[in-house]
Amino acid sequence: MLYETELVYLKNAYQTELETEIIRIGQDETGSPLLYLDSTLFYPEGGGQPSDVGTISGPNGVAKVIHARYQQGVVAHRCEIDGNFNEGDAVICRIDWHERHHNMRAHTAGHVLHDALVQLPHPQDLFPLKGNHKNLYVDYTGSPLPAALAVELEQKCNQIIAADYETVIREVDLEELQRICDYVPANLPTGKPLRVVKIGPHSPMPCGGTHVQRTGEIGPMKILGISLKKGVNHIKYQLSDTAD
Ligand SMILES: [Zn+2]
């Protein structure tokens, strides 16, 4: 690949507007236009976090960003274009903040759930498999968790939220990541900077997603249930709409 997209959302999850440049214009397999930018605010779908949506405005048109995906260092923005775009155009990216902020709250909440869960009595072979911020769940492999744990888990999550801990994000190398994290997934992303997030006094976790600055911003959280789905512990949660 000739260049890498600068991922501005990694530096500041609260930035909603960015001036940048069109590097390349392409098409996906269905013929939809793809815009490639020098730097981007759009989080490309991954790690359970949905793609950001929003607009890219140029001198001769506006592109509605439907989906962003990451491939080998480059973010491809699939768009519906009204007007014309050319390589070299100066453009302004604007993300849909309402959706992004929800995703940030949901993502940090998933980490809070993990930090709460590992403080409660749990099977030693428990390991986080994946999270999802659209349907709001976290999956764990390992021995079955008792469904009754949901009550205590919800209390613990809300204690962490009420403590309004800071989320501290740092870029690390692989050696440090493996040394400081208790849970390291086998399939760490390649080509992306490695990061860890640490919430208050809890252990750092590998993470490439967007987070709220403090846990209080998540608002009250509900554990909807713990169930076993195809041998995997499935923990569903919910955020309060009043926190929006
Ligand atoms: Zn994360």
pLDDT value, residue 71: 86
- Whether the Cβ atoms of residue 95 and residue 42 lie closer than 8 Å to each other: yes
Q: Ligand 1 mean position to 210 CA, how many Å? A: 7
Which residue pairs from 176-184 have beta carbons closer than 8 angstroms and sit at least 24 positions apart in sequence?
177/206, 180/204, 181/205, 181/206, 182/118, 183/127, 183/128
Q: Please tell me the predicted confidence (pLDDT) of residue 172.
A: 94
- How many angstroms does the Cα of residue 65 sit away from the middle of ligand 1? 23
Taking alpha carbons only, the member of 221, 225, 223 closest to residue 241 is: 221
Which domains are seen in the chain, by residue range? 6-95 (2.40.30.130), 100-243 (3.30.980.10)
Instruction: Output the tens digit of pLDDT for each of the chain's 244 residues.
Output: 568 999 999 999 999 999 999 999 999 999 999 999 999 999 999 888 999 999 999 999 999 999 999 988 899 999 999 999 999 999 999 999 999 999 999 999 999 999 999 999 988 899 999 999 888 999 999 999 999 999 999 999 999 999 999 999 999 999 999 999 999 988 787 767 799 999 999 999 999 899 999 999 999 999 999 999 998 999 999 998 644 4
Query: What separation in Å is there between the alpha carbon of 16 and the centre of ligand 1?
Result: 20
Sign of CA dihedral 133, 226, 124, 199: positive
3-state secondary structure 171-199: ECCHHHHHHHCCCCCCCCCCCCCCEEEEE
For ligand 1, the distance from its centroid to the CA atom of residue 88, given in whole angstroms, is: 34
* Predicted local distance difference test score (pLDDT) of residue 60: 96
Q: Ligand 1 centre from 11 Cα, in Å?
A: 15
Residue 3 pLDDT: 82
Q: Provide the pLDDT for residue 243.
A: 41
Per-residue pLDDT, 244: 42
Distance 149 CA to ligand 1 centre (A): 23
User: Do 21 and 38 contact (CB within 8 A), yes or no?
Assistant: yes
pTM of the model: 0.92
The tokens describing 118, both together, are: 């590992």
Beta bridge partners of 69: 76
Count of CB atoms situated within 10 Å of the CB of 2: 7
Ligand 1 geometric centre to CA of 181 (Å): 13
pLDDT of residue 52: 97
